[in-house]
Amino acid sequence: MTHTYKLMILPGDGIGPEVMGEVKKIVAWINEHADFKIETEDGLIGGASYDEFESPFDDSTLERCRAADAIMLGAVGGPKWDGVDYNLRPEAGLLKLRKELDLFANLRPALVFDALIDASTLKPEVIRGLDILIVRELTGGVYFGEPRGIEDLGGGERRGVNTQIYTTSEIKRIGRVAFDLARKRNNRVMSCEKANVMDSGKLWREDMSALHEDEFSDVQLDHMYADNCAMQLLRDPKQFDVIVTDNLFGDLLSDAAAMLTGSLGMLPSASLGAPSATALYEPVHGSAPDIAGQGKANPLATILSFAMCLRYSFDQGDLADKIEQAVQRVLNSGTRTPDIMAKDCREVSTSAMGDALIAELKN
């Protein structure tokens, strides 16, 4: 009997539905050609969910997510919901999904495709062959720490508070993910925090060192202040293999790393929890409301996220390889969405990019 995987699809807002449309084409292709099947179900998240349920992520959708084998998400947010209460904003829906499924490990690989060397704002020699992996802690830190909120102090004065908190077990469980992945790569981990000014950063550094000594002394571990890491990513990104960092620094550093590759439209991510938990796959880019609905969005980050889904959740590494190679060939052939357009290349729409990829898969 052929195995059927259940994939929950949350297109979200802005360009989310467009880029996810291209993933659905690949799912259809797989269902025709592979020896397993993928059954998909759509759900709402972000502003789209707020408009329907007055909640950015409804409990009924959460339960359907839990029941799936994996989740693909497009993007959330947009100016339409700027006035919405903080805890009902589209972003709050994504944070709820991450927290409820305990998806504490966010893997954000930054890989430079040879064909896209010129799309980067950095010199070719700085980025050629770049292959780094940012492992971002995703369910702790200042994103979730209490107390938080805006307090009225009277007389027109207010106070905004967020709290950075990390415990030893939170630090060690994300550390283990990073060290494990480093063993399958170039065996080096750079741990980033601000141990020079933050107590949570001091604890992070001490716990990472202890974990390294106890369980991973075969892996090279170095520490770097997160601000220095931002600078080093621009100066000499190839010095890194795996970077492990907290939720907020990981958010910043992964955007910086994305741009090394030429476009935010190229960066996939996986958010993993316990081995048995449903995992979430999403592009690193946002909802890009300025280009939504115009067929200009680059679907490759979402398609590469789907390749990660095939690899990590469906155990279909060969097919993931195939999709990644097809992306490479499409780029080599000069097919480009506007964000990565270059001289002598052919500019295509979101949908034509998806079609070009399917054509390569058929080869």
Instruction: Note if 214 is an active site residue.
Output: no
Q: Which distant-in-sequence residues (6+ apart) come within 8 Å of 75 by Cβ? A: 12, 13, 14, 15, 16, 19, 46, 282, 283, 285, 286, 287, 288
* Residue number, 304 or 361, with CB nearest to ligand IPM: 304
SS3 at position 274: coil
Closest distance of CB 77 from ligand IPM, Å: 6
Closest distance of CB 257 from Mg ion, Å: 11
Of these residues, 51, 131, 255, 355, which one is catalytic?
255
Of these residues, 227, 238, 322, 355, which one is catalytic?
227
How many whole angstroms separate alpha carbon 123 and alpha carbon 330? 23
**Phi, psi (deg, nearest 5) at residue 228:** -65, -40
Print the binding letters for residues 59-78 with ligand IPM: x by CB under 6 A, - otherwise. -----------------xx-
CB atoms within 10 A of CB 65: 22
Residue among 251, 324, 339, 360 that touches ligand IPM (CB under 6 A): 251
Residue 130: CA count within 13 A, CB half-sphere: 33
DSSP 3: -
Print the binding letters for residues 192-231 with ligand IPM: x by CB under 6 A, - otherwise. ----------------------------------------
* Residue number, 76 or 177, with CB nearest to ligand IPM: 76
Provide DSSP, 76-138. ---GGGTTS-GGGSHHHHHHHHHHHTT--EEEEEEE--GGGGGGSSS-HHHHTT-EEEEEEE-
Closest distance of CB 251 from Mg ion, Å: 4
91 binds ligand IPM per the rule CB under 6 A: yes
Instruction: Note if 322 is an active site residue.
Output: no
How many helical (H) and strand (E) elements, i.e. helices and strands, does the chain have? 12, 14
- Alpha helical stretches, state H, 313-347: 317-332
Q: Which of residues 156-185 bind ligand IPM (CB under 6 A)?
A: none
Instruction: Note if 58 is an active site residue.
Output: no
Q: Which has the closest alpha carbon to 323: 299, 343, 341, 345?
A: 299
Closest distance of CB 258 from Mg ion, Å: 9
Instruction: Note if 255 is an active site residue.
Output: yes
User: What's the longest Cα–Cα distance across the chain?
Assistant: 71
251 binds Mg ion per the rule CB under 5 A: yes
Instruction: Note if 251 is an active site residue.
Output: yes
* Residue number, 119 or 284, with CB nearest to Mg ion: 284
* Residue number, 18 or 251, with CB nearest to Mg ion: 251
Of these residues, 5, 194, 207, 296, which one is catalytic?
194
Of these residues, 5, 143, 166, 281, which one is catalytic?
143
**CA angle, corner 132, sides to 131 and 134, nearest 5?**
150
Residue among 94, 103, 244, 361 that touches ligand IPM (CB under 6 A): 94
Q: Which distant-in-sequence residues (6+ apart) come within 8 Å of 29 by Cβ? A: 358, 361, 362
137 binds Mg ion per the rule CB under 5 A: no
Residues contributing to the site for ligand IPM (CB under 6 A): 76-77, 91, 94-95, 251
Residues contributing to the site for Mg ion (CB under 5 A): 251
Active site residues: 143, 194, 227, 251, 255
